[in-house]
Amino acid sequence: MTPRVKEILSWYGADNPGTLTNLARLLNHGRLAGTGKLVILPVDQGFEHGPARSFAPNPPAYNPHYHFELAIGAGCNAYAAPLGFLEAGARDFAGEIPLILKTNDNDVLREEKDPNQALTASVQDALRLGCCAVGFTIYPGSAHQLEMYGQLRAYAEEAKRNGLAVVIWSYPRGSGLSKEGESGIDVVGYAVQIAAQLGAHIIKVKLPTAHIEQDAARKVFDERHIPIATAAERVRHIVDCAFAGRRIVIFSGGAAVFDDDKLLDEIRSIEAGGGFGSIIGRNSFQRLKEEALRMLGAVMDIYARSPGRDGTH
Amino acid sequence: MTPRVKEILSWYGADNPGTLTNLARLLNHGRLAGTGKLVILPVDQGFEHGPARSFAPNPPAYNPHYHFELAIGAGCNAYAAPLGFLEAGARDFAGEIPLILKTNDNDVLREEKDPNQALTASVQDALRLGCCAVGFTIYPGSAHQLEMYGQLRAYAEEAKRNGLAVVIWSYPRGSGLSKEGESGIDVVGYAVQIAAQLGAHIIKVKLPTAHIEQDAARKVFDERHIPIATAAERVRHIVDCAFAGRRIVIFSGGAAVFDDDKLLDEIRSIEAGGGFGSIIGRNSFQRLKEEALRMLGAVMDIYARSPGRDGTH
Amino acid sequence: MTPRVKEILSWYGADNPGTLTNLARLLNHGRLAGTGKLVILPVDQGFEHGPARSFAPNPPAYNPHYHFELAIGAGCNAYAAPLGFLEAGARDFAGEIPLILKTNDNDVLREEKDPNQALTASVQDALRLGCCAVGFTIYPGSAHQLEMYGQLRAYAEEAKRNGLAVVIWSYPRGSGLSKEGESGIDVVGYAVQIAAQLGAHIIKVKLPTAHIEQDAARKVFDERHIPIATAAERVRHIVDCAFAGRRIVIFSGGAAVFDDDKLLDEIRSIEAGGGFGSIIGRNSFQRLKEEALRMLGAVMDIYARSPGRDGTH
Amino acid sequence: MTPRVKEILSWYGADNPGTLTNLARLLNHGRLAGTGKLVILPVDQGFEHGPARSFAPNPPAYNPHYHFELAIGAGCNAYAAPLGFLEAGARDFAGEIPLILKTNDNDVLREEKDPNQALTASVQDALRLGCCAVGFTIYPGSAHQLEMYGQLRAYAEEAKRNGLAVVIWSYPRGSGLSKEGESGIDVVGYAVQIAAQLGAHIIKVKLPTAHIEQDAARKVFDERHIPIATAAERVRHIVDCAFAGRRIVIFSGGAAVFDDDKLLDEIRSIEAGGGFGSIIGRNSFQRLKEEALRMLGAVMDIYARSPGRDGTH
Amino acid sequence: MTPRVKEILSWYGADNPGTLTNLARLLNHGRLAGTGKLVILPVDQGFEHGPARSFAPNPPAYNPHYHFELAIGAGCNAYAAPLGFLEAGARDFAGEIPLILKTNDNDVLREEKDPNQALTASVQDALRLGCCAVGFTIYPGSAHQLEMYGQLRAYAEEAKRNGLAVVIWSYPRGSGLSKEGESGIDVVGYAVQIAAQLGAHIIKVKLPTAHIEQDAARKVFDERHIPIATAAERVRHIVDCAFAGRRIVIFSGGAAVFDDDKLLDEIRSIEAGGGFGSIIGRNSFQRLKEEALRMLGAVMDIYARSPGRDGTH
C-alpha cells in the first residue's frame, strides 16, 4: 500500500473496511496501481447510443469479451458496464480486473428534454458478479433530478452497507440548462458537489468549458477571480468542488476524436489541474485494439508521471 | 448434452446451475433438441388482440388444452402463454413441454401512442406452475420504456435467483418512432442490444426491414457499409447486436400469412443469418391442427439442417 | 360431490386444495348445490351508487343483516359485499353462507370518463372474515386498466396462496369505448378473456348486446359467421371466450326491472347458452323480501333444470 | 357495562377483543359514560386553519396541555388531535382521557379544488402514545378520493389488528360537488355509507342541509318521500345510512357560533334524530374555559337525557 | 443538568430516553451548554446554492473539515450538513461536536415554482455517522407539501424509535404564496405550527416580517391585536405558535450581511422575543475564520445573558 493510496483511503472515514478494500482494489490495480490515479474503461454505449453506432467502427467490440480483454490488456484500473455486458464475462475473467456495474441506463430511442434513467441492475447484482463498485448516473438540472437523487441514495446506502464503492456519473442536463450550460464550469462544479454530497466515492464528469451558465454563479466567479481560463485551471476548480480534493474526481473524454494529440493535451490538463484520472470509452473501443492499447498507454504515461497532490488547501 | 448446447450454456457464465438447467431444458426439448435452435409456440393473442380475433379462425383454439397439445405434438421447444392459459393446463400436461410464463400483457381495448403493459403474473407464479422461464415484454421507444426496464430488472433478478431463465419480447414502439421505424434494422438492432444489456437469456424480436430510422445510425450503416440488403444479412446484424451471437435471439413471424412459401423463405433467411429460431403463434394456431403440424414440421426441417454457428467473431 | 362439480374442479388444476375447497363450498351451497350453477347475491350498491338510491326502495335493506338473511333465505350460493357490510354480519351469520369480499370499490360522487377503483379491503380481511373468495373489479378499456390488472395480479396471487378463490367483475369502461361498446359482444367477450387470463376462477360480466365495437373484431365475426343474434347465442360466445367454458362465467342483470317475465327470459337465455348462473343485486334487495324470495326461486328453478354442459368443444 | 354499551359493542362482531375494549373505553369515559352517547373534543385546527386563527381568540389554547385539561374537565369521552399535540401531553395526562390520534391532515397554505391530506402519523404512533383509536379524514368527491380510501384501508387494517378503533372524518369535497352539495343530505348520507363500508367504527360528518346535489338521488328522495325537512329528520336519515344505526355516527358543529341557543338547538336535533353525539372543537376552545365548560355541560345534559335508540329498523 | 435543560426535556414526554439523551447532548454542548439556548452551524449551501457561490468567498470552506473545526472552535451546539459533508469528517471529529444529518436537499439548477426536495440520506445513515438528530426540510405552501409531510412522518417515526431527535427546517414556499408571504408573520407562524404538529423537537424558521399574507389570518391579527410591530414581538408570536414555547424554535439569518451590527440586532430581537437561538451558516463560513469566531462569540454572548423563559402562558 503506497502512502498516496493510504492518504486517499483516509478521506473516506465513514466507510466500512469492506468499502475501503474495494476502493483499494480500484486504486491498486493495473498500470497506475498505487499512484492514486485511475484510468477506467466504460462501455455503456451499446445501451446509451445503440449497438451499430457504438461497435460497428470496430466490429470485434460487439463481443462483450472484447472489452474485458481490452481493459485487462491496457492495464486499466477497472472496467465499467451495464448488467448484460458484465454477466457475459464476469465468470470468464473473474479476478482479472475490478468491475463497476452500471446500475441505471437510458437509450436514445426517445429524446426527452428532461432525461431520466431506468434502474437496470441492483446492488445485489453487483455483489453476485464480484464487482467492487456500483455506478449510477444522475442528471442534475433535469425535472427528474430529485427522483434520481433519491434512487441513488438508496443504492448508495445498500452498496456501502455491503462493502461496495459508489461511482457517480454526474451529467448536468435538462430543460433548465442551455446546451452550453451542460458543460459550463459553474454547472459541472455544481454537479461534482452534488455527487459528493450524495455520498460518492468517485465522481465522473465531463471536462468543463469556460462557459458560465448561472448569473448568481458568474457574479462569484467574477468577484473572486476564480481562474478558469485554461483547462487545467478548470480542472483545479472542479477538484476544489469535490470537497477540496478529498473525493476522487475523474473526467470523460466525450465523443471519439481522431486527433490523439488533442486527446493527450486534455489528459495533460487533467493531470496538471490535479484530476484523478480519466474514463475513456469511445476513444478506446472504437479503434483497432492495438491502437487503443497504444493510446491508453500514452494516457497512463502522463498520469504515471504525476507527483500526486495532497488534496487539501 | 451436445457440444452445441454446451457451447451455448458457456455464454451464460453469470447464471446459477438452476438457470442453466432450465436453459438446457429449453434447448434439449422437442424435435430440435440439441441443435441449439428453437421453435416456440406463443399464445398471448387472446389477451393482446381479443379472443374472437385470435381463436375464431380455428375454434378449438378457444380451449387452453389445445395449445399444449399443439406445442407437444409439433415438437416445439416450449410453449409460452399468460397466467390464465398456463394455469388451465399446467397440471394436465405437467412435464410434457417446457413452459414460459408471460408476466406482462396489454390489450387493444385502448390504443395508446405510448403503450405500456400490466404486470399480470409473478416469478412465484412461474415457479408454482413448473415453468422454466419468465417472459417479459418491453417497448423500447415508448414514453413508458424506463418504467418497463425497471420492472423487468426486478423480475429478471428474482427469476435468476430462483433458477429460471428470462425471455424478453423486445418490441420497439411509441411516439418517438415512425410506424416503419418499429421494424427498422437500426431500431430492432437497438432493441436487441437493450434486451441483452438488461440481462435476457433469450430475446425475441420481429424480423427487421432495411428501413433505417435514426439519422445517427444511418450515418454509421453507410460509413461502415453494414450489409442489410437481404433478410439474411439483417438477421446477421441482429445476431451481432445480441453480443456477437452470445445471446440467443429468435424471430417472430407477425400476422398470419396464407402463403407458406413466403413463411418458409423467412425461416430460411433466419437460418442463413445465424438466427437461433422462431416463435410462431398465429401462423400455428389459426389454422387446422394438421396443417399447423405440417407447417411447423417444415420450419423445423430448415432449422434442423442448420450447421450451427460459433457465435463469435 | 356430484360428477358435475368434480368436473368443474378439474379445470382448476393449478390451484391448491384450499382454493378448490372454497370453490367447492361455493358450488355446493344453497338450492343449486351440486348442479354446477350459481346464483349469488351482491350488495355493493351502497358504495357504488349511494345508500338512498340503493336502499330507500326497500328500507330494511339499510341494515346489513338483511342481506345475509335474504341470501340465506333464498338459498343463494354466496353473498358478496364490501368490507363494512361483511364486517357487520360475519360473526352473526358465521358458517351460514359462503361470503365473497369485494376488495375494491368506487362511488359516483365524481364521474370520470376513465374510471378506477380504490382498494377497500385486503386478502387478509377476507381470511379473518371467513370468506371463501375475494372479489375484484376491473375496467378493461379505462386509462387505468393496466394499474387495475396489476393490483388484481397481486391480490389473486395472495388469495390463491391462502386458499381463497378469485372472482373478477370485468366491466368494460373508459374513454376508448362508446356507451354501446361497453356491452357489445366483442368487448364483453374480450373482457371475459382478460379476466380468465388474469387467473380468475369465476368471472362476472353483463349480458352482452349484439353491438360490435371494434372494426378488427367485426371483420372476424362476419367472416367466421359467429352467431350472436339471440341472447343465448351471445352467452354461448361469452362462454367460449372463458376458455371454452373451462372458467365459470356468470351474468349480472343490471338495473332493477319490474317486469319479471323479462328478467326470467334473460335467465333462460343464460341457461340456454351454457352460462353458469347469475348475480342478482338490485332486482333482489330493492323489492319486498317475499317478492325477492319468489323471484330468486323462479330464477333457481330455471338453472336447477339445466342439464349442465361439458365445457369443452 | 350498561346494556346500551353492550348492545353497541354487539354490532362490531368482526372486531377482536382489543378493539372492543378500546371502543368500550370511549363509550364508558366521562360524563356520558354508559349512555351510548359521545361528546369528543377535537383540536386539529392549528394544522388545518393555522395557529393564530385557531388559538388567538383564547390564547391559553396555544398550549397543548390546555386541551387535555379542557377535555378532562368537561368530561368528554375523548380528545382527538394530530401527532404533535398528543405527543406534547400524552405522558402528562396518561390514562386521564381516551385519545384519538388524527393520522392525516392538511393546511390552508394552498387551496386545491380537489383537496387531499398528508399522512402525518401512523398506527404505531397511536399505540406508543396510548391512544384508543386512530382518526382518518377522507374527502369523498375529491379527485384524490380513491387514493385516500386506499390509504385508509391500510391504516384501518393495521389498527384493527392492533386492537385500536377507527374513527373516520368523512367530508365530501372536490371539483365534482357544488359548495352546497358538500353538506347536502344525499351527499352526507353517501359519505357516511362510504365510511361505514370502509370499516369505520365511528363516523364523523357535518350536520346536513336539505339540499340534494345529485339528480339520481333526488329522484329517490322524491319517489320514496324520505323526510328531510327538519334537522332531526335529516339526522335520522344519516343514521339509516350508517348501516341502519349499527355504526356510531356523530356530528360536528362547524365554525364557532356565538349564539349558544342555536348550538344547543342543533344538539337537540341530533339527539332527536338518533345521532350518537357531537364533536365540538372551535365552539369549545375558542372561548374562555369556564364558558366552554358550561356550554359542553349543557350539550351533555341533552345527550344524557336521551333514552337511546335500538339502532335497527 | 441545569434546571432549564431539565425543564425543556420535560416538554418531550412522548420521547424515549434515547431521544431525550440526544436532545440533552444538543443542549449541553458548547458555549451555551445548559442555558437552553442553541447556536447551530448549518452548511448545506454547497448542495442548495452550489459550491462556488458558497465557498469561493472563503476558499478553505471547500474542505469539509473546515466546518467541523469552525463549529467546534466557536463552541456551537451542533453542526448540521448533508450526507457527503458529514461522511467526510464524522470519523475524524467523532465525539467532538453533536451532528445533525440533513436528510433531504435540493439544488438551484432548476427553479420550480413549487419546490420539492430529494431524500438524500436516511435515518440509518444518521445512526452510523453518530448523529444526534436528523434534519428535514418541508415547504409548506408548495404543491408538493403533502408528499413532503408524509416523507417526514416516516423519517420522524424511525428517528424517534432509534433515539434520535428531529429538526425541521420549515420554509414556506410555492405557487400559493407571494414572495413577501414566504416570510410573513402569519405564514411563518403557520409553518412553525405545522412542524410542531408533525412531531418536530426543534424547528428552524426564518425571522418573519410584519407582512400578513392570508386574509383570514389578517382578520384575527387585527381583531385580537396580536403585537407584531417589532422583531421581538414577532419572535414572541412565533414562539407561541410553537406550542406556547413548548417546542424549541430557532431562527436563521438568511443571506450573508456585512453589517454585524444589523446581525446582532436581529439576535437581540430573537433573544428578547423568547426565541431559543440561531442557526447561522453563510454569515459564519463565508468570512475568515477569525472573523467568524468573533461574530459567533458575540452572538453567543447575547444568548448567554438571556434569563430563559418558562415557555408557558
Q: pLDDT (tens digit, 9 = 90+) per residue, A115-172?
A: 999 999 999 999 999 999 999 999 999 999 999 999 999 999 999 999 999 999 999 9
Catalytic one among B102, B204, B206, B262?
Answer: B204
Tell me which chain E residues have a C-beta less than 8 angstroms from the C-beta of D90.
13-14
Question: Does E307 score more than 90 pLDDT?
Answer: no
Distance from CA of E48 to the nearest CA of A (A): 9
Residues of chain D positioned with their CB less than 8 A from the CB of C82: 197-198
Rounded mean pLDDT of E155-181?
Answer: 97
- What percent of chain A stands above pLDDT 70? 96
Chain D interface test: which of C109, C124, C155 (most D C-beta within 10 Å): C109
Q: Is there a contact between B91 and C143 if contact means CB atoms under 8 Å apart?
A: no
Looking at residue C313, its pLDDT comes to 37
Q: Answer whether E149's CB lies under 8 Å from A178's CB.
A: no
Banded pLDDT at C259 (limits 50, 70, 90): confident
Chain A residue with CA closest to B240: the answer is A62
Tell me how far apart the alpha carbons of residues A68 and A89 are, in angstroms, rounded to a whole number.
7
Question: Does D143 contact C110 at a Cβ distance shorter than 8 Å?
Answer: yes
Query: Per mean pLDDT, which range of C197-211, C224-238, D51-65, D253-267 is the poorest?
Result: D253-267
**Touch between chain B and chain C (3+ CB pairs, < 8 Å)?**
yes
Contact C62 D214 (CB under 8 A): no
Q: Which residues of D have a CB under 8 Å from any CB of E?
A: 46-47, 49-53, 55-57, 59-60, 62-65, 82-92, 105-111, 116-122, 124-125, 128-129
Cβ separation of E52 and A220 shorter than 8 Å?
yes
Nearest CA in chain A to E151: A150
Indicate which residue of E102, E160, E204, E206 is catalytic: E204
The pLDDT of residue E308 is 58
* Mean pLDDT within D136-146: 97
Alpha-carbon gap: B163 to the closest alpha carbon of chain C (Å): 20
DSSP string, C9-36: HHT-TTS-HHHHHHHHHHHTSSTTTTTT
Instruction: Considering only the beta carbons, identify the residue of C13, C141, C200 that sits closest to B110.
Output: C141
Helix (H, G, I), strand (E, B) or coil at B171: coil
Return d(Cα C165, Cα C156) in angstroms, integer: 8
Helices E231-241 and E260-272, axial angle in degrees (round to 10): 50
**pLDDT exceeds 90 at position D61:** yes
Is residue B299 within 8 A of residue B278, CB to CB? The reply is: yes
Given A102, A160, A204, A206, the catalytic residue: A204
Neighbours of chain E (3+ CB pairs under 8 A): A, D
Residues whose CB is less than 8 angstroms from the CB of residue B6 and which lie 6 or more positions away in sequence, other chains included: none
Please give the DSSP secondary-structure letter assigned to residue E35: T
Residues of B in contact with C313 (CB under 8 A): 59-60, 62-63
Phi, psi of A85 (to 5 degrees): -65, -40
Residue of C60, C84, C90 with shortest CB distance to D198: C84
Helix, strand or coil, per DSSP, at residue D110: coil
Contact (Cβ atoms closer than 8 angstroms) between residue D256 and residue D230: no
Residue E103 pLDDT class (50, 70, 90 cuts):
very high
pLDDT in tens, C159-206: 999 999 999 999 999 998 999 999 999 999 999 999 999 999 999 999
- Locus of grid cell 350472436: C228
Smallest CA–CA distance from D106 into chain E, residue: E146
- Mutation for C interface: B62, B105, B116, most C CBs within 10 A: B62
Of A15, A174, A241, the CB nearest to E51: A241
pTM: 0.96
ipTM for the whole predicted complex goes beyond 0.90 = yes
> What does the alpha-carbon distance between residue D26 and residue B27 come to, in Å, rounded to a whole number?
68
- Contact list in C for residue D177 (CB cut-off 8 A) is 109
Beta-strand pair B38-42/A277-279: unpaired
Q: Which one of C23, C197, C243, C313 would you mutate to disrupt binding with B, by most B Cβ within 10 Å of its Cβ?
A: C197
Contacts B150 to A, Cβ<8 Å: 118-120
pLDDT at C308: 58
Distance from CA of B257 to the nearest CA of C (A): 16
Contact B50 C141 (CB under 8 A): no
Which of D62, D106, D109 is the best residue to mutate to test the E interface, defined by the most E CB atoms within 10 Å of its own CB?
Answer: D109
Section E6-33 average pLDDT: 98
- Residue C77, pLDDT score: 98
- Taking residues C296-311, what's their average pLDDT? 83
Q: Test D153 with C117 for CB contact under 8 angstroms.
A: no
For residue C309, pLDDT beyond 70: no
Quick check: D221 and C56 CB within 8 A?
yes
Q: Check whether D27 has a pLDDT greater than 80.
A: yes
313 residues of chain B, pLDDT tens digit each: 999 999 999 999 999 999 999 999 999 999 999 999 999 999 999 999 999 999 999 999 999 999 999 999 999 999 999 999 999 999 999 999 999 999 999 999 998 999 999 999 999 999 999 999 999 999 999 999 999 999 999 999 999 999 999 999 999 999 989 999 999 999 999 999 999 999 999 999 999 999 999 999 999 999 999 999 999 999 999 999 999 999 999 999 766 666 889 999 999 999 999 999 999 999 999 999 999 999 999 999 999 998 755 444 3
Q: Do D312 and C63 touch (CB under 8 A)?
A: yes
Please report residues of B whose CB lies closer than 8 A to that of A88.
11, 13-14, 243, 246-247
CB-based contact B243 A63, cutoff 8 Å: yes
pLDDT at A311 over 50: no
Look at residue E290 and tell me whether its pLDDT is greater than 70: yes
Chain C residue closest in CA terms to B65: C243
- Amino acid occupying residue C116: N
Give percent above pLDDT 90 in chain E. Answer: 94
* Contact status, residue B295 vs residue B285, Cβ threshold 8 Å: no
pLDDT of C307 over the 90 cut: no
Is residue E311's pLDDT more than 50? no
- Comparing E311 with E152, the larger pLDDT belongs to E152
Q: What was the pLDDT predicted at B310?
A: 47
- Above 90 in pLDDT, residue A56? yes
Is C157's CB within 8 Å of B108's CB? no
- Is the model's pLDDT at A312 over the cut of 90? no
Burial-class residue B95 by CB neighbours within 10 Å (0-12, 13-18, 19+): exposed
The answer to whether D and C touch (≥3 CB pairs < 8 Å) is yes
How many CB atoms neighbour CB D138 within 10 A?
A: 27
Q: Give the model's pLDDT for residue C295.
A: 96
Q: What percent of chain E has pLDDT over 70?
A: 96
* Model confidence pLDDT, tens digit, residues A1-54: 999 999 999 999 999 999 999 999 999 999 999 999 999 999 999 999 999 999
Full DSSP string of D140-206: TTSTTHHHHHHHHHHHHHHHHHTT-EEEEEE---STTS-TGGGGBHHHHHHHHHHHHHTT-SEEEEE
Going by pLDDT thresholds of 50, 70 and 90, the confidence category of residue D312 is very low
At A85, list the grid cell.
455486458
Nearest neighbour of E197 by CB, restricted to D47, D65, D91: D47
- Active-site annotation holds for E204: yes
Q: What is the pLDDT of residue E259?
A: 83
Q: What single-letter amino acid sits at A285?
A: F
Query: Between chains, do B193 and A50 touch, taking CB under 8 Å as contact?
Result: yes
C117: nearest CA partner in chain D: D146
**Is the CB of D110 less than 8 angstroms away from the CB of E199?**
no
Q: Do the Cβ atoms of D141 and D111 come closer than 8 Å? A: no
Task: Please tell me the predicted confidence (pLDDT) of residue D258.
Answer: 67
CB contact under 8 A, E84 and A220: no
